[in-house]
Amino acid sequence: MIRLLIVILASLFFMTLPLSAFASEVKTTDINKDGEIDGWTYVRDGNVEKQELDINFDGKVDAVFLYEWNGKVKEEILDTDYDGRMDNWRVYEDGNLMTDRLDSNKDGRIDIWFYVDHGKIIRLEKDTTGDGKPDTVSEF
C-alpha cells in the first residue's frame, strides 16, 4: 500500500517536470536482418548516451559503449570471447584511452590493468594470485 502511494507520488512529481527531461528513447536495430534485435542505441535530448551490440548474434550483448555529451566514447565494456560475461573494460578521457582492464583468465575478476597516456602504456598491473588485487606492477 505504502509502496503504491510512493509510486503515485513519484509519478505526480515526474509529471510536473518539463517534458524535455523525458526526451530519451531507445532505438533498436536488427543488424543481420534475422528478425532479432542486436543493436540498442540510447538517446537523451538528441545525444547518444549508450549503445549496446550483440556482435556475434547469439542474443547476448557483448559490447557496450558509453558516450560523452559531445559524442566521444567514454567507456567501452566488451565480452571479447562471447561467453556471455564481460571481460574488458576501457575508459576514455576526451576520446583518449586512459585505462584498459582485462579479465584474462575468465574468472569474473579483473586481473590486468593497463594505464595509458597519449597512446602509450605507462603502467601495467597484474593480479597473479587471483584475489582481484594487483600484485605486480611494471612502469614504462
Among 52, 79, 100, 125, binds Ca ion (CB under 5 A): 79
| Pick 44 or 101: Cβ nearer Ca ion | 101
Q: Does 94 bind Ca ion (CB under 5 A)?
A: no
| Pick 67 or 79: Cβ nearer Ca ion | 79
3-state secondary structure 37-87: CCEEEEEECCEEEEEEECCCCCCCCCEEEEECCCCCEEEEEECCCCCCCCC
Site map 106..125 versus Ca ion, x via CB under 5 A: -x-x-x--------------
Binders of Ca ion in range 47-76 (CB under 5 A): 54, 56, 58, 60, 62
Residue listed under C-alpha cell 507520488? 9
Q: Does 131 bind Ca ion (CB under 5 A)?
A: no
Residue listed under C-alpha cell 583468465? 105
Residue listed under C-alpha cell 561467453? 83
The CA angle 58-59-61, to the nearest 5 degrees, is 100
Shortest CB 67 distance to Ca ion, Å = 21
Q: What are phi and psi of 29, to 5 degrees?
A: -135, 145
Which residues of this chain interact with Ca ion, rule CB under 5 A? 30, 32, 34, 36, 38, 54, 56, 58, 60, 62, 79, 81, 83, 85, 87, 103, 105, 107, 109, 111
